[in-house]
Amino acid sequence: MDQWTLQMGYPVITILGNETTDNVIVISQERFVYDSDAKPKDPALGDSSYLWQIPLTIAVGNTSHISSEAIIWVSNKSEHHRIPALEEASWLLGNINQTGYFRVNYDIRNWRLLINQLTRNHEVISVSNRAGLIDDAFNLARAGYLPQNIPLEIIRYLSEEKDFLPWHAASRALYPLDKLLDRTESYNIFNEYILRQVASMYLKLGWPTNNLNKSLVQASYQHEELRREVIMLACSFGNKHCHQQAATLISDWISSNRNRIPLNVRDIVYCTGVSLMDEDVWEFIWMKFHSTTAVSEKKILLEALTCSDDRNLLNRLLNLSLNSEVVLDQDAIDVIIHVARNPHGRDLAWKFFREKWKILNAR
């Protein structure tokens, strides 16, 4: 275990088909880093010294079937292994059910076969393997091991995905990508592509209701989490129905002064309402933030205030966060983080952070 407990980081395994010899694959390992510039430049300190004893589980699949897993112990930088059942149209899958602490990369041909499999019949590959493929692909692309189109093509099957974990893996990767792309000319193409993947599942799942009839069977936890994940993606990327629903729920709260917004989507509704609606909604949320004594609700309300498109309101909130009597010291940093996540507040948060550095540092 010394290699896993005493060495920095964790490995990425790369599995390549051998074009000269049938049924033979080349498996190599190296330390996984997001930024290649972070690797030591001094050969004496280089990454070549990083080696792990890796239990790689592997399976071979085709359009209708996946083999039982075999285990290969990988202990060298690069090794050749014979896989008997490997045929022309078969694909390989490594780290079955994500039991090993490493990422797995493949040659582009194998990625394409996996993408085709997900598109034709994703259920041949287990839920945890589907989530693992999405997570690995996005992170490998982020680190430069893969072209960015591969993870985006993998999620093309998501409109057919009924399980929570793959959706969760995708959304976790999409939000940072969204923040990088929202400053580019091709952002609308990306935005529309994600909305297309989300649309059918959003319509199918609908919105949760505040169930007053306790005799009705509650939906399973995973189902509710999936619904929350899809609603969050739909509202974040601009689904019109999602925006209308959030605005209706906020308006109902303001007019009746009764909060009937389902608990597990309150943060999404508050944030969407503040970003879409006028200053009066921001003031209403600000008032509720002051009057509520529930700590968790206070945190959600404060975060919602950072969703505004109005730069003056965002600036006002940043300055108010310096007053310990208005915003608790431990919550002030959250205000800066969430304003910075808002495309309208990104530069405001950075400017504020630099100008108020002495005060923030002292706190």
Query: What is the per-residue pLDDT across 211-269, written as a single tens digit (0 to 9) for each?
Result: 655 444 566 888 999 999 999 999 999 999 999 999 999 999 999 999 999 999 999 99
The answer for residues whose C-beta is within 8 angstroms of residue 182's C-beta and 6 or more apart is 343
pLDDT digits (tens, 9 = 90+) for 171-188: 999 999 999 898 899 999
The answer for residues whose C-beta is within 8 angstroms of residue 76's C-beta and 6 or more apart is 29, 51
The answer for residues whose C-beta is within 8 angstroms of residue 307's C-beta and 6 or more apart is 270, 271, 272, 274, 275, 338, 342
pLDDT attached to residue 46: 59
Token pair of 31, please?
Answer: 């330390």
Rounded alpha-carbon distances, angstroms, from residue 350 to 308, 358, 362: 17, 14, 18
CA pair distance 292, 294, nearest whole angstrom: 6
- The model's confidence at residue 352, banded by pLDDT at 50, 70 and 90, is very high
For Cα atoms 254, 233, 247, give the angle at the middle one, nearest 5 degrees: 15
Mean pLDDT calculated for residue range 96-113: 96
- Predicted model pTM: 0.90
| Phi, psi (deg, nearest 5) at residue 281 | -65, -40
